[in-house]
Amino acid sequence: WEGREFKVRTIDLQQVQNQTHHKTDGLSSSTVVLRRGQAFTNSIFVLYSDTHSSLLSAGPVSVEVPVSRLGQPSLTQWSAVLERRLPNPTGPRALSVSLSSPASASIGVYTLQLRVEARLNVKTHSLGQITLLCNPWCQTDSVFLQSEDLRTEYVRSDIGLLFKGSPGNMVSRPWSFDQFEKGILDICMKLLQLSPQHQADMRTDLQNRSNPVYIGRVISAMVNSNDDKGVLMGNWSGDYSGGINPSQWSGSADILKKWAEAQFRPVKYGQCWVFAAVMCTVMRALGIPTRVITNFNSAHDTDGNMVIEEYYNEMGKKLSMSKDSIWNFHVWVESWMKRPDLGQGYDGWQVLDATPQEKSAGMFRCGPAAVKAIYQKKVEAQYDVPFIFAEVNADVRTIIIKDKKVLSTSIDKKRVGALISTKRPGSMLMQDITSEYKTEKAFGFPFLINTGIEVSLQLLKAPVVGENISFNVIITNNMAAPKLLKKHVNAQNKEYNRNPTGTFWEAHDDVKIAPNESKSPAVEDYMVNLAVVIEDVESQERVLASEEFNIRSPALSIQNEFSVVINTPQVATVTFTNLFNVAVSGELTVSGSGLLEEKAQMTITIQPRETMKRPVNFTPKMAGAKMLSASLVLTNPPTVLHGFKTINVQAPA
């Protein structure tokens, strides 16, 4: 090698094969997508090459990796090993270099450069870009997850099921995480780049990006648009003009693409399940195992006293007197990672919440908080354990007042955090994970007071839009004497996260009840949101029971043929029966990541009691479990309906 010219002629990053080895196939990016803690081979064809030394350098945190001629790729530090030289005396020589990153490498987009040093000659060649992700398949990665089934569900699956409503009338709705949709991974990377942490101190941010605890905290702040250039603007006002009603979104790609197309201005609007679902997409795309969690009767304790106060008047009408509130449900995510910062015993699921509720160290973000720390009420374990502890454990103090005088007070220790749920891996069913957050509280009936009257409300069937609501009021007299009681039932409309608005139905009547008798006066057949106050005519004492529930939408269902093969045209049928008493019209949208390239949209009108059937053609492009989902946005009555069907797409035999 004396002054001879050399050229790097062809670079082949062997993208497709290595992405399969790295479990990143299907992720679409303008770069090669790889996981840390794993080797990656690229071929470099060099003319007349016999270099003294070569260096591969990789950014974002600039690392220089000398190419060694011998040895094995290391998995604890960056290393590059010359794998083979293909002998070819006349033509160009091919050098094949195996580059490997440590399991603790920072995630992000790296620019690979090859520097070839000869005695008189140094040349640098750009080899292109790679995107490096966390690696739950790698034992030494802090997001390592043992089971292949769980990695499939929590990293590779793009099918989501979100639970909403109330424990007595739970509604599951489909969500498409869309991490394999074109351009989504690059947008997720952009989220890291635009974070205030990166903007303030690029170098420190890049170094900290080796740590999923740090990454989770950054993403939880960036998914909402408060205090930064984040993705989603929250709105719970009921007026969603100028944006999209949060109930209408059906997947994350629409939101993330809209954000990128609008030069990273916030997308309007999100509510808790939208923030959580988008966060789940970003975390799965980055390679951090993540699942969406619904906490039913989630307390929002604004004053940190772990007690939520609820005020009613003597007729059972709920009053807006407290800043604290109980959301019928609240949705967050859990991500799987080690917590060396908390000492032993806190590895595993960590709560992260992207919904802007309260600030954490100056920004709207929440977590990561170890589920085990919440269980143990270890309030000092970073981050935000007291807030999340209250969400699942706060006591509810119900106060009945009349003319500013307290008539009665009762404490309910069981209502908050009544059910904590997530999608069961590999199925479309609910998994109850309440016991991971709290021990069962063995408290008796919450509304027992000294009058010896118990009251409770019982829904007879899950309420459905357009149908009457049936419920029982059960009153029990535990005393030796008969009693004359007054019953006040009050029904109010409400949004899932706030106090109810006006009363739309009430009923007041007298009840006579004998000792030890249990009575359920006439079955009520009416509409929603209910409180009953039982008044003892003699002593004037009052007992209250309340039940908050949602009304289930009529079903939108999808049927398709039994066997579905990749790249083969298919037909599915979307069915909807109009249970309303009026003709309804609206827009039907059918989508499916990996199934339909473009959404199918149609405007429809359906007469009362009529059943609509619409065929939808699609050609699956990806093998595995995929989801076809349909949404129907009705204008009158204003309702959004969702339906889905999971489809197992077979690879050709």
CB of 101 to ligand NAG, least distance (A): 11
10 is a contact residue toward ligand NAG (CB under 6 A): no
Question: DSSP per residue over 205-236, as a string?
Answer: HHHHTT-HHHHHHHHHHHSB-TTSS-SEEE--
Q: Which is nearer to ligand NAG, 41 or 271 (CB)?
A: 41
Q: Which is nearer to ligand NAG, 271 or 422 (CB)?
A: 271
* Candidate segments 39-47, 176-184, 328-336, 626-634, binder of ligand NAG by CB under 6 A: 39-47
CB of 330 to ligand NAG, least distance (A): 18
Give how many residues touch ligand NAG by CB under 6 A: 23
Q: Which of 121, 208, 226, 434 binds ligand NAG (CB under 6 A)?
A: 208
- With CA atoms as reference, report the closest residue to 163 among 153, 174, 152: 174
Query: Which bin fits 268, alpha (ψ -120 to 50), beta or left (φ > 0)?
Result: beta
Residue identified by tokens 């007026």 is 239
d(CA 385, CA 381): 7
The contacts of residue 382 (CB under 8 Å, 6+ apart) are 341, 342, 369
d(CA 252, CA 274): 8
CB of 36 to ligand NAG, least distance (A): 12
Site string for ligand NAG, 415-454 (x = CB under 6 A): ----------------------------------------
**Residues tagged active-site:** 272, 330, 353
Q: Which is nearer to ligand NAG, 53 or 77 (CB)?
A: 77
CB of 83 to ligand NAG, least distance (A): 8
Residues 448-477 interacting with ligand NAG (rule: CB under 6 A): 467-468
- Crossing angle for the helix pair 212-222 and 184-193, to the nearest 10 degrees: 100
CB of 21 to ligand NAG, least distance (A): 3
Q: Which of 72, 124, 204, 605 binds ligand NAG (CB under 6 A)?
A: 204
* Candidate segments 36-44, 276-284, 393-401, 545-553, binder of ligand NAG by CB under 6 A: 36-44
Q: Which is nearer to ligand NAG, 40 or 327 (CB)?
A: 40
Q: Which of 152, 193, 207, 503 binds ligand NAG (CB under 6 A)?
A: 207
Q: Which is nearer to ligand NAG, 37 or 500 (CB)?
A: 37
Output the furthest CA–CA distance in the chain (Å, rounded): 112
Q: Which is nearer to ligand NAG, 161 or 606 (CB)?
A: 606
246 in Cβ contact with 277 (< 8 Å): no
Sheet holding 600-606, edge to edge: 564-565, 639-650, 624-634, 584-591, 600-606
40 is a contact residue toward ligand NAG (CB under 6 A): yes
Q: Which of 11, 12, 21, 92 binds ligand NAG (CB under 6 A)?
A: 21
Query: Is the bond into 637 cis (omega within 30 degrees of 0)?
Result: yes
214 is a contact residue toward ligand NAG (CB under 6 A): yes
Q: Is the dihedral of CA 263, 621, 131, 210 positive or negative?
A: positive
β-strands 624-634, 639-650 pairing = antiparallel
Q: Which is nearer to ligand NAG, 79 or 211 (CB)?
A: 211
617 in Cβ contact with 571 (< 8 Å): yes
Residues 226-285 interacting with ligand NAG (rule: CB under 6 A): 235, 237, 239, 241-242
CB of 325 to ligand NAG, least distance (A): 15
Q: Which is nearer to ligand NAG, 5 or 239 (CB)?
A: 239
**CA distances (Å), origin 17, targets 24, 118, 191:** 10, 32, 28
348 in Cβ contact with 381 (< 8 Å): no
Is residue 203 classed as helix, strand or coil in its secondary structure? helix
CB of 209 to ligand NAG, least distance (A): 9
User: Counting beta carbons within 10 angstroms of the beta carbon of residue 148, is it exposed (0 to 12), middle (13 to 18) or buried (19 or more)?
Assistant: exposed
The contacts of residue 428 (CB under 8 Å, 6+ apart) are 159, 161, 172, 644, 646
Q: Which is nearer to ligand NAG, 266 or 592 (CB)?
A: 266
375 is a contact residue toward ligand NAG (CB under 6 A): no
Residues 492-521 interacting with ligand NAG (rule: CB under 6 A): 515-516
CB of 211 to ligand NAG, least distance (A): 6
* Candidate segments 13-21, 102-110, 184-192, 504-512, binder of ligand NAG by CB under 6 A: 13-21
Q: Which of 10, 17, 77, 493 binds ligand NAG (CB under 6 A)?
A: 17
β-strands 570-577, 584-591 pairing = unpaired
Q: Which is nearer to ligand NAG, 312 or 496 (CB)?
A: 496
362 is a contact residue toward ligand NAG (CB under 6 A): no
CA angle 245, 250, 252 (to 5 degrees): 100
User: Counting beta carbons within 10 angstroms of the beta carbon of residue 139, is it exposed (0 to 12), middle (13 to 18) or buried (19 or more)?
Assistant: exposed
Residues 545-604 interacting with ligand NAG (rule: CB under 6 A): none
Q: Is the dihedral of CA 25, 30, 35, 41 positive or negative?
A: positive
Q: Which of 64, 149, 261, 525 binds ligand NAG (CB under 6 A)?
A: 525
Residues at the interface with ligand NAG (CB under 6 A):
14, 17-18, 21, 39-41, 204, 207-208, 211, 214, 235, 237, 239, 241-242, 467-468, 480, 515-516, 525
